[in-house]
Amino acid sequence: MRKRSPYPYWFVLPAAVIFTVLFLVPTIASFWFSLTNWDLFDASFIGFENYQQFFSEPFLLRGVVNTLFFAVLTSGAKTVLGLLLAVLLTSGMFAQGLQRSIVFFPVLVSTIGVGLLFTELMHPTEGVINLALGAVGIPGPGWLTNPKLALFSVAMVDIWRGVGLATLIYIAGLASISPDYYEAARIDGATRLQQFWRVTVPLVRPATTTVIILSLIGGLRLFDLIWAMTRGGPGFASDVLASVVYKQYQAGFYGLSTAGNVILFLLIAVLVVPLAFRFYRKEVDQ
């Protein structure tokens, strides 16, 4: 008789059942439902019509483009600002610990709360931001009502909210760089700037990858902040895939909504998964 392992696979079972039923099954089913005209009771196969619609209807396509723009912009800004803040917050300056906490706290606050707060601050005629600008003689723009600005304004708020996490990850990354490297660089006569580019940037690469992965995923999937601030408006100016998916769901176009979901799925699969797999493989093989 084969000896039973002291680490039986049934330990995995409860998690596997929940995950399979509530995540895997819907995900696999979504590929089928995205090819149908679906109202939750009847689904009739219509081929790729939903996808065709997605890429031919200007306001659906707009959502795809906006999603990419938003994800790249916020993830780039969080990476750059996060690294700079982390360097600053590890320089041993005054009130360093307190400042770390201040920068990080917005990460924990409800996104809806943040969104509603900034919607009021960005009100075109009565918001504090424009009143402050007006006080120094600058006419403030319609942050959320100008179609050219709306998505950008939401992105700014997302960066405000998320940069603390990037900073935190970079701080941990910086801590793992041995001081010997800086010592050696100094002996070679490297300036502070050169140390930053030659030592810090290459050696925090793992942290950079983490920040990019996390913020890309967050940016591509973002829904709650957009929904709290603009609901995709004005018009379709700040619609992203997740808000399009929700709107089509509300309208009862379940097939179309699911097609949007699959497109988002594929975007992440193409943009993020290769990055993540290269990165996490080390951990798997560990």
> Of 108-127, which residues contact other proteins (CB under 8 A)?
108-113, 116-118, 120-121, 123-127
Task: Report if residue 138 touches other proteins, rule: CB under 8 A.
Answer: no
Task: Report if residue 8 touches other proteins, rule: CB under 8 A.
Answer: yes
Side-chain-facing half-sphere of 254: CA atoms under 13 Å: 14
SS3 state of residue 110: coil
How distant, in Å, are the alpha carbons of 95, 130, 160, 170, 175 from that of 117?
Answer: 27, 14, 13, 28, 35
Best CA proximity match to 82, nearest among 237, 180, 183, 214? 214
Nearer to other proteins, 49 or 73 (CB): 49
Q: Taking contact as CB under 8 A, which single stretch among the options 63-71, 72-80, 184-192, 216-224 is the one that binds other proteins?
A: 216-224
Q: Looking at 186, 192, 231, 278, which residue binds other proteins (CB under 8 A)? A: 231
Task: Report if residue 233 touches other proteins, rule: CB under 8 A.
Answer: yes
CB 229, CB 119: distance < 8 Å: yes
Distance from the first to the final alpha carbon of the chain: 32
CB 277, CB 213: distance < 8 Å: no
Nearer to other proteins, 13 or 188 (CB): 13
Nearer to other proteins, 128 or 188 (CB): 128
Q: Looking at 52, 55, 65, 96, which residue binds other proteins (CB under 8 A)? A: 96
Nearer to other proteins, 188 or 235 (CB): 235
CB 137, CB 193: distance < 8 Å: no
Q: Looking at 107, 133, 156, 190, which residue binds other proteins (CB under 8 A)? A: 107
Task: Report if residue 71 touches other proteins, rule: CB under 8 A.
Answer: no
Task: Report if residue 33 touches other proteins, rule: CB under 8 A.
Answer: yes
